[in-house]
Amino acid sequence: MELNADFKARVLVHSDQIDWQTSPMQGVDRRMLDRIGGEVARATSIVRYAPSSSFSAHVHAGGEEFIVLSGVFQDEHGDYPAGTYVRNPPTSFHTPKSDAGCVIFVKLWQFDQNDRTQFRKTMTQDLAAPVAGVATATLHRDPRETVTYSHLDAGATLSNADAGGIEMLVIEGSVDEGGDTLGKGDWLRLPEGHALSAVAGDDGAKVWIKTGHLPHARPPAV
Query: What domain count does the chain have?
Result: 2
* Measured distance CA(68)–CA(79) in Å, rounded: 11
d(CA 151, CA 161): 18
Domain boundary among 121, 152, 184: 121
**What confidence tens digit (pLDDT) does each residue in 29-85 have?**
999 999 999 888 999 999 999 999 988 888 888 899 999 999 999 998 899 999 999
* Confidence bin at 171 (pLDDT 50/70/90): very high
Say whether both 133 and 52 belong to one domain: no
Q: Are 91 and 59 in contact (CB under 8 A)?
A: yes
**Is 13 a member of any domain?**
no
Range(s) of the domain holding residue 75: 18-121
Residue 19 contacts by C-beta under 8 Å, 6 or more apart in sequence? 31
SS3 84: strand
CATH number for the domain spanning 157: value is 2.60.120.10
Same domain, 113 and 37: yes
Averaged pLDDT score across all residues of the chain: 95
Task: Tell me, yes or no, whether 28 lies in a domain.
Answer: yes
**From the CB of residue 58, how many other CB atoms can be counted at a distance below 10 Å?**
12
Instruction: Name the pTM for this structure.
Output: 0.96
pLDDT value, residue 222: 59
Q: Of 90-94, 104-108, 165-169, 197-201, which range is least confident?
A: 90-94
Burial 116-142 (b: 16+ CB within 10 A, else e): eebeebebeeeeeeeeeebbbbebeee
- Is 8 a member of any domain? no
Residues 94 and 136 in one domain: no
Distance from C-alpha of 222 to C-alpha of 211, rounded to nearest angstrom: 26
User: For residue 61, is it within any domain?
Assistant: yes
Q: Are residues 22 and 117 in the same domain?
A: yes
